[in-house]
Amino acid sequence: MSPLPSIEEVESLRSLVVICGLAIGMGFGVLAQHARFCVLGAMSDWVVMGSATRLRAYALAMAVALMGTQALILLGLLDSGAVFYTNTRLLLASGLIGGLLFGLGMTLASGCGARTLVRIGEGSLKALVVFLVMALTAFMTFRGVVALLRTQTVDQLAFALPTRQDLPSLAAWAMQSSEASPSLRLLVASLMALALLGFALWDREALGRKAREHWGAAGIGALIVISWFVTGYLGFIEEHPLTLERTYLATNSKAPEGLSFVGPLAYTLEVLIYTTDKSQTITFAIATVVGTVLGAFVSAKSNGSFRWGGFASTSDLSRHLLGAALMGIGGGTAMGCTIGHGLSGLSLLSLGSIMSTLAILSGAWIGLRLLQGSDASH
């Protein structure tokens, strides 16, 4: 039996997890800014111009994140059962309604939470306002007045599953097995990855012309895997010297965390407001938020795309305020976003994340169609 780590060793490891979060966030910011990685942009290209090139890049990020994360699980480097994305309670209405609201909101606010941070790094004051409103409304949805409404309405329409909600566990239950075997997990993950890769790499001509977008997306998928490794293995302690309990260091959920940009924005705002409260600490998620802005700033400065920008009109301001609020409330209700559910949750093959991601994309499609109709009427 290995000896318990000292408090100093635990704090040193905690700091390492936070530093890794900052580095991962910077990597995300650089890649997303340089490769124009934007889920709303991908949906807009498809709806308005009929081009699925950037949507294929998003699918490639999903495939890379999925394959790498499932490899971690099979190697024993990540306990997928400890992550909330795979718990046994399927929040059906919360995921679908929250996802639709988030998708609609990001069309009004010119991008999702991740894109908002990248745009801040590019000099957009619009994005700074969106960040503040989205973070505030997300916090209200987690722990404020909106949380009272959420818990009494959409959260009530949930299902207690007989097993965890990741697809391998559900497949094992359907086969009357107690848990998913490594071979079954490998089979399910391979089928999903092949489907995503098939869609991502189908258009070879576009792949050749748009290699930057695809390489950037693959890099972002890899960052999801690194996040799971850092929070689920590097920052994991079997017995904390004070509590003698299994502990995941520097995570807000007290569990392994991938990348996400709803809750972390709320946590960041909370730390900014209550900085002198000694119970407030910098976590992995908060570090990724700061890192994303810094990375996007460095990238924008290096390629000459940094520009200060603001609102063009009062109607522009009101549209972004509404979109930011819908993203905060929708993302807080669905417990995720285009990155949280679309990459991190999907990499665990979570049924709830798959449903929420489809709802987000549907909301974006509806929003883009409504904006098209509004523009046409003018």
Whether the pLDDT of residue 352 is over 80: the answer is yes
- What pLDDT is stored for residue 4 in this prediction? 87
Whether the pLDDT of residue 31 is over 90: the answer is yes
- What pLDDT is stored for residue 375 in this prediction? 64
pLDDT in tens, 147-185: 999 999 999 999 999 999 999 999 999 999 888 999 999
- What pLDDT is stored for residue 105 in this prediction? 98
The length of the chain in residues reads: 378
- What pLDDT is stored for residue 205 in this prediction? 57
Q: Which residue has the higher pLDDT, 279 or 317?
A: 317
Question: Which tokens is 216 given?
Answer: 């950037």
- Measuring CA to CA, which residue among 339, 311, 259, 375 is closest to residue 109? 311
311 touches 320 (CB < 8 A): yes
- What pLDDT is stored for residue 203 in this prediction? 75
Q: Give residue limits of the domains in the chain.
A: 7-373
- What pLDDT is stored for residue 215 in this prediction? 93
Q: Is 322 exposed, middle or buried (0-12, 13-18, 19+ CB in 10 A)?
A: middle
pLDDT in tens, 297-320: 999 999 999 999 999 999 999 999
- What pLDDT is stored for residue 316 in this prediction? 96
